[in-house]
Amino acid sequence: MSGSGTAPRRAPTGHPEYPPTPAGGALAKAGPPSAGRHVTRTWQVTADPGGGEGPVLTPTGTTTSVLGTAHRARGYGRSMSIDAVVWDIDDTIFDYTAADRAGMRDHLVAEGLLDGHPSVEQALARWREITDAQWARFSAGETDWQGQRRERVRVFLGEPLSDSEADAWFDRYVTHYECAWTLFPDVLPVLDSLVVSHRHAVLSNSSLLVQDRKLRVLGVRDRFEAILCAVELGVSKPAAAAFHAACEALDLPPHRVAYVGDHPEIDGRGAAEAGLLSVWIDRDGAHLASDGPPTGPHRISSLTELPALLGTDTRFGAWSTFG
């Protein structure tokens, strides 16, 4: 997308390393249920039509039902039975931060660029700072996707490279980045432990093109019956409509679905406000639990805590005891 600085801001979607997929994909934009009502959309699951794109979900109908008073409130302070888990991907099940760092480090070594920086850590920090700045420009409509990639390279190298030179440099980096892809070590054991008791889906602020391929490379695509991404949905987290679309794809009301993600606001509070059982994974303990009323997500430090959380009489807004 291209445009001037006056273009409307939009939530960051897609991925700074990859192009967004075009709108109008397999999943359409969905709105949140009306107050006191639950809107259920039915979906037809079609097997892989060929080309390795994976199963396709097609909406086939919509029904609306009046909810009891126990279902009308936001998802705080209620006990429930959870039937499905919807997952974030990057830095929740896939170690994006480590892959980005390792990929760029190996790329700088291969390009002979480390000598131009005081240390590896400072080089990586500068790359991350430039990435964040250029992605913010893309999110504000000030540049298109290809443009933010090229500018990241030019700013980092301090050279006025041509478009083709910048593209080639970035493509070499992506090769190293993808070689560093890995799941967190607690992912497969937890998915195995929940395979019988819970259904699983993905909700990501990226694109289907990126995340479907990533899950296939990591060997876990078949663990999830639906993958929903912001680019195709037309709405991104933390908007309640994004979380409700995932629930609708599973044909479940929000209070029967858990959401697991690594960002305390986009994932944690967003899912809780949408009425899901919100589980915020804070792996490095960088964030402190709130001292105020427990109105946010359940907070865990490892996915190994998740089965017990789902198997007990859980309540929205209760923090875990880790600290």
CB 314, CB 77: distance < 8 Å: no
Calculate what percentage of the chain has a pLDDT beyond 70.
Answer: 68
Q: Is 180 helix (H, G, I), strand (E, B) or coil?
A: coil
38-47: long-range contacts (C-beta < 8 A, 24 or more apart)? 38/64, 38/65, 38/67, 38/71, 38/253, 39/63, 39/64, 39/248, 40/64, 40/65, 40/248, 40/251, 40/253, 41/248, 41/249, 42/251, 43/226, 43/248, 43/249, 43/251, 45/225
The pLDDT value recorded for residue 116 is 84
Tokens representing 134 are 């250029």
Q: What is the per-residue burial (b if ≥16 Cβ within 10 Å, else e) of 55-73?
A: bebeeeeeeeeebeeebee
Q: pLDDT band for position 80 (50/70/90)?
A: low
The pLDDT value recorded for residue 24 is 40
Tell me the residue type at 23.
A
Q: What value does the mean pLDDT take over residues 265-289?
A: 87
pLDDT digits (tens, 9 = 90+) for 138-157: 777 788 878 888 999 999 99
pLDDT of 57 strictly over 90 = no
The pLDDT value recorded for residue 86 is 98
β-pairing, 257-261 vs 277-281, is: parallel
pLDDT of 114 strictly over 90 = no
Tokens representing 289 are 């639990």
Better pLDDT: 244 or 55: 244
Tokens representing 313 are 């009489």
Residue 121: CB atoms within 10 A of its CB come to 11
The pLDDT value recorded for residue 255 is 95
Mean residue pLDDT across the chain: 76
How many helices and strands in the chain, by DSSP H and E? 11, 8
CB 231, CB 208: distance < 8 Å: yes
The pLDDT value recorded for residue 286 is 64
pLDDT of 201 strictly over 90 = yes
pLDDT digits (tens, 9 = 90+) for 42-52: 444 444 445 44
pLDDT of 78 strictly over 70 = no
Show the beta-strand stretches assigned E in 56-150: 56-66, 84-87
Q: Which helix (H) or strand (E) holds 43?
A: strand 37-46
pLDDT digits (tens, 9 = 90+) for 232-255: 898 889 999 999 999 999 999 999
pLDDT of 321 strictly over 50 = no
Distance CA 235, CA 229 (A): 9
Tokens representing 95 are 């170690």
The pLDDT value recorded for residue 297 is 80
The pLDDT value recorded for residue 272 is 95
The pLDDT value recorded for residue 308 is 92
Q: Is 286 helix (H, G, I), strand (E, B) or coil?
A: coil
